[in-house]
Amino acid sequence: MADTTKTIEIEVLRYRPEQDKEPFFQTYTVPFEDDWSVLQGLQYIKDDLDGTLSFRWSCRMAICGSCGMMIDGKPRLACRTFLRHYHPNKLRVGPLEHFPIERDLVVVVEDFIRKLESIKPYIIPKEPRKLEQGEYLQTPAQLEQFRQFSGCINCMLCYAACPQYGLDSKFTGPGVLALMHRYNADSRDGGRGERMALGHSEEGFWGCTAVTYCSEVCPKDVDPANAINQNKMGSAIDYFLRFVAPRGAGK
Amino acid sequence: MSAQMDKRRPYVRSMNSWWKRDPFFVRYMVMEATSVLVALYAVILLVGLLRLSQGEAAFNGWLGALESGPSILLHVLILVVFLYHLWSWFKVMPKTLPMIFVNGKKLPADTITYTGVLLAVVVNLIVLIILV
């Protein structure tokens, strides 16, 4: 590490609640090699320059969803963004937009977790089967209906890309609604009715105004904008149908 | 627990000028703004319909007003805005449709967008041919 000749300036948005009134940028000069990710740059800062810097990370390979942050204004995973793309310019790193800042690059995620739990992100079997009845079978076509939407790693980049969530956090938001659709679209699942009371509401699919930036920034190509908006047609039909044939709420 | 909570002071950032933050948001706002001129043109056409119901002279007056300099300028502006509106509308369309599978493969978003644009161009040409 000491042999590296190239250096890059990283401006990090700092916020230490016990001493700072508001966030401020602190600049660090970091020596790096071409294969260094932004996350490695931050780890260098924490290990060698300033141990007080806080950020979340875990897997270093774009699957745990912990290291989402704003990198030069874009929501990105720090582990799959490389310092060489910004060199010789400096780069700015900040916590994910639209979430309250807990400390430095760490954001408050309680709201997201609560929403995630609220949509029952698990299969609620349509017909409970006993072990001896064997597995639930599914055709490739049935799999394709939800496979893309099951790639979500809960990294929350889509929330940092969603101005509707930033303006009003009552909106359930892209990632969680995409997961709602993922389970509703699963042929083995029978929980649609339990989830759709929220789905049909203003806080659900209708809170989306199709900015579609969520789908641009998703590191797993989940396409939350598609998951959400393809539900609006059904939701509208359902709304008018209830006048013709009243059913249970949210079915 | 409470001592720990006391140390927490989550900082909420302002959303002022949020749409200037990213070029993607600027394009979104322009797309939304085009709908204002779409609505304005609908009003112009509705006024025409109203004048038509009031007789030939009234309708001819409306037609005359359309041929004035400022009106032609406005129409050129509306045409340009409509073209962007058309493009951005079909650009969002793939997001609003359920997934379409052709021979087991998902129909690409671009195919849906370009098909929509092509269809709109063809329909407009047909309308033009009928009118002219």
pLDDT digits (tens, 9 = 90+) for A145-162: 999 999 999 999 999 999
How much is the pLDDT for A86? Answer: 96
How much is the pLDDT for A106? Answer: 98
In whole angstroms, give the CA distance from residue A212 to residue A96. 17
My answer on whether B55 and B104 are in the same domain is: no
Asked whether the beta carbons of A66 and A54 are under 8 A apart, the reply is no
- State yes or no: pLDDT of A2 exceeds 70: no
On chain A, the residues whose CB falls within 8 A of the CB of B21 are 73, 97
Measured between CB atoms, does A216 come within 8 Å of chain B?
A: yes
Query: Around Cβ B50, how many Cβ atoms within 10 Å?
Result: 12
Q: Which of B8, B10, B18 sits opposite A166 (nearest CB)?
A: B18
Structural domain boundaries enclosing B19: 2-96
In whole angstroms, give the CA distance from residue B11 to residue A24. 12
Q: Which of B10, B24, B95 sits opposite A226 (nearest CB)?
A: B95
How much is the pLDDT for B7? Answer: 81
My answer on whether B101 and B91 are in the same domain is: no
Q: Which of B11, B22, B94 sits opposite A101 (nearest CB)?
A: B11
Measured between CB atoms, does B25 come within 8 Å of chain A?
A: yes
The pLDDT tens digits of the residues spanning B69-79 come to 999 999 999 99
A86 CA to chain B: closest CA distance, Å?
Answer: 18
My answer on whether B87 and B109 are in the same domain is: no
Band (pLDDT 50/70/90 cuts) for residue A234 is confident
Measured between CB atoms, does A18 come within 8 Å of chain B?
A: yes
The pLDDT tens digits of the residues spanning A69-123 come to 999 999 999 999 999 999 999 999 999 999 999 999 999 999 999 999 999 999 9
In whole angstroms, give the CA distance from residue B14 to residue B16. 5
- A72, A145, A212: which to substitute to probe chain B, counting the most B Cβ within 10 Å? A212
How much is the pLDDT for A242? Answer: 76
My answer on whether B107 and B55 are in the same domain is: no
How much is the pLDDT for A187? Answer: 95
My answer on whether B110 and B127 are in the same domain is: yes
CA dihedral angle for residue A161, residue A163, residue A166, residue A169, rounded to 10 degrees: -100
How much is the pLDDT for A243? Answer: 79
The domain tally of chain B equals 2
Measured between CB atoms, does A232 come within 8 Å of chain B?
A: yes
Output the furthest CA–CA distance in chain B (Å, rounded): 81
My answer on whether B67 and B125 are in the same domain is: no
My answer on whether B7 and B63 are in the same domain is: yes
pLDDT > 90 in chain B, percent = 86
pLDDT > 70 in chain A, percent = 96
My answer on whether B25 and B71 are in the same domain is: yes
Could you tell me the CA-to-CA distances from A235 to A43, A126, A189, A206, A229 in Å, in that order?
A: 46, 21, 19, 9, 10
Q: Which of A17, A166, A229 sits opposite B8 (nearest CB)?
A: A17
My answer on whether B76 and B111 are in the same domain is: no
Band (pLDDT 50/70/90 cuts) for residue A237 is confident
- State yes or no: pLDDT of B6 exceeds 80: no
Q: Give pTM, 2 decimals.
A: 0.90
- State yes or no: pLDDT of B106 exceeds 90: no
Measured between CB atoms, does A141 come within 8 Å of chain B?
A: yes
3-state SS of A123-137 is CCECCCCCHHHCCCC
In whole angstroms, give the CA distance from residue B21 to residue A55. 23
My answer on whether B19 and B81 are in the same domain is: yes
Least confident piece of the model among A151-155, A218-222, B59-63, B105-109: B105-109
- State yes or no: pLDDT of A33 exceeds 90: yes
Three-class DSSP category at A174: helix
A242 CA to chain B: closest CA distance, Å?
Answer: 22
Mean pLDDT of chain A: 93
* Residue range B85-95: mean pLDDT, rounded: 93
CB contact under 8 A, A145 and B22: no
Q: The complex's ipTM?
A: 0.89
Q: Which of A108, A166, A229 sits opposite B96 (nearest CB)?
A: A229
Asked whether the beta carbons of A227 and A177 are under 8 A apart, the reply is yes
CATH for B89: 1.20.1300.10
- A230, A232, A235, A237: which to substitute to probe chain B, counting the most B Cβ within 10 Å? A230
Residue A93, burial from CB neighbour count under 10 angstroms (0-12, 13-18, 19+): buried
In whole angstroms, give the CA distance from residue A74 to residue A92. 10
CB contact under 8 A, B95 and A223: yes
CB contact under 8 A, B25 and A140: no
My answer on whether B68 and B120 are in the same domain is: no
Give me the total of CB pairs closer than 8 Å, taking one residue from chain A and one from chain B: 75
